[in-house]
Homo-oligomer: A and B are copies of this chain.
Amino acid sequence: MPSSPTTETSAARSLRRLLIGPPLRSRQISQEEITPVEGLSALSLDALTSVAYGPEAIIVVLAVAGASALHLVLPITISIVVLLAILVFSYRQVIDAYPGGGGAYAVTKANFGPRVSLPAAASLVVDYTLTVAVSIAAGVGALTSAFPSLTSATVPICLAILAVVTVLNLRGLGETARAFLLPTMVFIVGLLAIIAVGLIHPLAVNVPQPGQSQLPTHGLQTVGVLLVLKAFSAGCSALTGVEAIANGVPLFKDPKPVRAKRTELLLGVILGAMLLGLAVLARRWHIAPRSGQTVLSQIMGMAVGRHWAYYLVSLTITLVLALAANTSFGGLPVLASLVARDNYLPHLFALRGDRQVFANGIWALSAMSAALLIAVNGNTLTLIPLFAIGVFTGFTLSQAGLVVHWWRNRPSQWRHRAAINGLGAVITAVATVVFLATKFTEGAWVVVVAVPAFIFLFVRIHAYYDRAATTLGLGLIPAKPERKPCLVVVPVTGVSRLAEHAIAQALSISSQVIAVTVALESSDTDDRVEELQRQWRQWDPGIPLEILRTEFASVAAPLVSFVNDLRDSRHEQIIVLIPTVVPEHLRYRLLHNQVDLVLSNALRACPDVVVARVPMALGTSDGRPPGGSGVPSAKPRSD
């Protein structure tokens, strides 16, 4: 492929190469298969890292009722862990039912058709975006808890992490990053060890923590059912991500479903242990919200002091949360490409970029997440209510889909399986309703608006593609193409080698060629027109020159109406060839007055007219002798 100096500057191309890398062949896409332990880092980081914001969400809700309400963190966490167990068993069944990798979109599309799969797709889009935003915000929260001086730069740090993740994925390294085992293991082992140290109380440091307590002392709420439900639903944000393994079954080594189910169980055990351990410690140490300190950072600081272990695990948490955000970059672009293939999203999302990744989906996810992070100022807690609703809608839909699946196929023990999925569906549905009811005014309405908005968009796009397919006669064999005679119009600004070049090409297309020029009205118009006609006669290129006079400043308008008149009055196919100077370097392009671009844009409005710009390279030899008859004219000027 030749270099293309006119489409991208060499500097821009070099920068792009540096960031994104050279194009990849399709066979260069890695197709590694993973083990259950690798599955934890590849597919479960989103779920595991929710310990960074789940317990905090409970405590923040309880804190509005004062210190006395904080002991409720333990029973609420226990009920969340019970729900986790139900979800884990449900998703193990999803793996059995859809070993091909059944995301909520695929499961609901197969069982309920597009009417239900579109809500699933819409809530998945919202979820993936929220996962990115929440994970990055929580990761930066861990970082600023460890290094409070960074707090004022929260949003820029969030955006920088997002930029790194975006570039990695545009390079096609997202998959590789998802397989980073080491930080995942440091995170799991380190956090479990810190919890263990905290539980074996004598070893724990239990020192005062930095930051001010944010426990209210006035206007306390009483502890009621509503508050408990609110705390429960907020804590359910810790369950987000447990569905990811079921979506990624094809990534595992054979026997895929067995290994995937093992990973799901492993995830459930580790996540459950972490949540329970953190809840016990939070209750024991009366952990309350503090300014500039996450709950997790307080517990870690109390357990081991702000020493190397605290800083190591804090930095690891930031890293694994960034990797958790990265998980969504594996999900949304693929989902968008599937939805686009079903004609519910622009086909752009189904195109692979130079690096074989769905680059448009990556850009879209990055843009939406950045907007969200800026809108909430990098604050995790603002995002939690939005987050959990979408996730739980997805839970409910795919659990319900599974019930239908078992009822239709009736394998052995189908009643038993349907019961588990049914229980999962009911509980998550209840949790979703609680969320909506309790969090509606705190941001949940955004999801309630966004999901139907996306569905509406999908439906409109589909309707358009249906109409387009009909008009284009897609799927039908069209009539045979018919030829017509051609008439070529060449707009010129004067007698020059540029005009000669374009007219030569016009004559190659058809013997019917008209040159046309626009004369802007001014004091010396008549002289200029006469001089041009004199030069034209002297040159005698064998075609007529039409002169369009105008009192307006635009050269495009008279030309467009001239071409429209021709098209209406004659039966030939009209072709407009616009002479275009292509300077040797891009930086000289601004020196040409771009009339060719203005004309070709304006002429695009004429239906059934073919418009081409005829490039003439400047500064490179075009293989013909320069000059002509050598008669100088009055004013040497180039335009």
Query: Interface on A for B, CB 8 Å cutoff?
Result: 1-7, 23-27, 343, 346-348, 351-356, 461, 464-465, 467-486, 494-501, 503-510, 520-522, 535, 538-542, 551-554, 557, 560-561, 564, 573, 575, 577, 581-583, 588, 590-594, 601-602, 604-620, 622, 624-639
Contact = CB atoms under 8 A, between A and B. Distances in A.
Query: Which residue among A1, A23, A482, A593 has the maximum number of chain B CB atoms within 10 Å of its CB?
Result: A1
A539 B477 contact: yes
A618 B471 CA distance: 7
B7 A601 contact: yes
Nearest to A479: B628
Nearest to A499: B478
Contacts of A478: 495-497, 499-500, 539, 627-628
Nearest to A536: B477
A490 B548 CA distance: 33
A522 B631 CA distance: 60
Which 3 A/B pairs are nearest by Cβ-Cβ distance?
A612-B612, A4-B605, A481-B504
A497 B473 contact: yes
A593 B346 CA distance: 7
Contacts of A632: 475-476
Nearest to A498: B472
Contacts of A554: 23, 354
B615 A612 contact: no
B624 A479 contact: yes
Contact of A486 (B26, B495, B508, B583): B508
27 contacts: A2-B605, A4-B604, A24-B553, A26-B521, A347-B591, A354-B552, A356-B553, A464-B583, A465-B591, A467-B618, A468-B583, A468-B591, A471-B626, A472-B496, A472-B638, A473-B497, A474-B633, A474-B637, A475-B634, A478-B495, A478-B539, A480-B542, A481-B506, A484-B504, A484-B508, A608-B615, A609-B615
Contacts of A637: 343, 347, 469, 474
B613 A611 contact: yes
A353 to B, nearest CB: 6
B7 A522 contact: no
A186 to B, nearest CB: 36
Contacts of A3: 605
B509 A509 contact: yes
Contacts of A622: 607-608
B593 A351 contact: yes
Given A476-B627, A607-B617, A612-B575, A24 B591 contact: no
Contact of A482 (B27, B494, B504, B573): B504
A590 B346 contact: yes
A564 to B, nearest CB: 6
Given A604-B615, A628-B477, A552 B504 contact: no
Nearest to A636: B475
Given A507-B483, A520-B26, A552-B26, A614 B604 contact: no
A477 B592 contact: no
A488 to B, nearest CB: 9
A473 B626 contact: yes
Nearest to A572: B508
A8 to B, nearest CB: 9
A588 B468 CA distance: 10
Contacts of A620: 607
Given A24-B552, A354-B552, 14 more contacts: A4-B560, A23-B552, A25-B551, A347-B593, A347-B638, A347-B639, A468-B638, A470-B626, A471-B618, A472-B638, A477-B538, A477-B628, A481-B542, A482-B507
Contacts of A627: 473, 476, 478-479
Contact of A633 (B475, B601, B631): B475
Contact of A496 (B23, B473, B592): B473
Contacts of A551: 25-27
A465 B635 CA distance: 13
A373 to B, nearest CB: 24
A190 B527 CA distance: 52
A607 B608 CA distance: 26
A619 B591 CA distance: 39
Contacts of A538: 477
Contacts of A560: 1-2, 4
Contacts of A480: 500, 539-542
Given A505-B610, A605-B6, A607-B615, A553 B23 contact: yes
A12 to B, nearest CB: 13
Given A7-B602, A583-B468, A639-B347, A553 B352 contact: yes
A605 B467 CA distance: 35
A353 B508 contact: no
B552 A465 contact: no
A456 to B, nearest CB: 14
Contacts of A626: 470-471, 473
Nearest to A564: B2
B633 A477 contact: yes
Contacts of A465: 591, 638
A479 B629 CA distance: 7
A495 B478 CA distance: 7
Contacts of A561: 1-2
Contacts of A605: 2-7
B486 A509 contact: yes
B346 A4 contact: no
Nearest to A507: B483
Contacts of A470: 626
A614 B638 CA distance: 30
A474 B541 CA distance: 16
